[in-house]
């Protein structure tokens, strides 16, 4: 099962310091395994703890993306609207393993896909099919980039969260990875296009 999905920044943004990453969208799936130390926390305190956990994942991914880009000599450049497919083809990707308590209660695997200044991240349980998870992550990133124009100037994913939710509901229902054949994929894409055109 997928634990969570994130869209966050990996390149410096004017409002942030050089080492920070801003989470633009997050979705946590399924019941959270509670840490025994959180037993006395109220809902607001639990929300703050969960937000910090997601920030830890975003920082880990940002570090991995920076290291990957430094090693390969790639730099973060702006893209032109309409070149989402090219940007996705040139995107860096990677996998991280996080141990128990770093930041989730159990061991997790983090798959990330960095497209220019954005990173799309899936946090999965360790027994998940990583090839299927990578395909799902690429599919989600493609739909987000093409339908929501996330790489364009002034793009606000914060204002389009309902559309990202709709994509997740169809492509990653309740955090479950789906095996998709060509016909089913075509039907999903048609449904998504109809929803996005509203």
User: Residue 25: helix, strand or coil by DSSP?
Assistant: strand
User: Which 3 state secondary structure label does DSSP give 93?
Assistant: strand
Provide the residue-wise pLDDT of the chain in tens; the chain has 198 residues. 899 999 998 876 555 555 678 898 999 997 766 665 666 778 888 888 889 999 999 999 999 988 888 888 876 655 555 666 677 777 889 999 998 888 888 899 999 999 888 899 999 999 999 999 999 999 898 888 877 766 655 556 666 788 888 888 888 999 999 887 778 878 878 887 787 776
Give the CA distances from residue 74 to residues 66, 69, 92, 107, in Å, rounded to whole numbers and listed in that order: 9, 5, 9, 31
Q: Decide yes or no: CATH 3.40.50.460 for domain 2-196.
A: no
């Amino acid at each position: 099962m997928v634990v969570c999905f994130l869209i966050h920044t990996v390149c410096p943004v004017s409002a942030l310091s050089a080492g920070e990453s801003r989470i633009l969208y997050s979705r946590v799936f399924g019941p959270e395994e509670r840490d025994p130390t959180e037993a006395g926390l109220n809902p607001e305190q639990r929300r703050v703890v969960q937000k910090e956990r997601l920030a830890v994942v975003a920082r880990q991914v940002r570090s991995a993306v920076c290291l990957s880009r430094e090693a390969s000599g790639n730099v973060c450049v702006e893209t032109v609207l309409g070149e989402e497919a090219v940007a996705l083809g040139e995107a860096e990707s990677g996998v991280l393993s996080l141990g128990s308590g770093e930041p989730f209660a159990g061991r997790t695997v983090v798959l990330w896909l960095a497209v220019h200044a954005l990173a799309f991240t899936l946090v999965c349980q360790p027994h998940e099919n990583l090839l299927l998870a990578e395909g799902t992550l690429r599919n989600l990133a493609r739909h987000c980039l093409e339908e929501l124009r996330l790489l364009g100037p002034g793009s606000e994913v914060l204002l389009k969260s309902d559309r990202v939710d709709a994509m997740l509901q169809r492509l990653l229902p309740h955090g479950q990875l789906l095996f998709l054949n060509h016909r089913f994929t075509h039907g999903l894409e048609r449904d998504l296009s109809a929803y996005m055109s509203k």
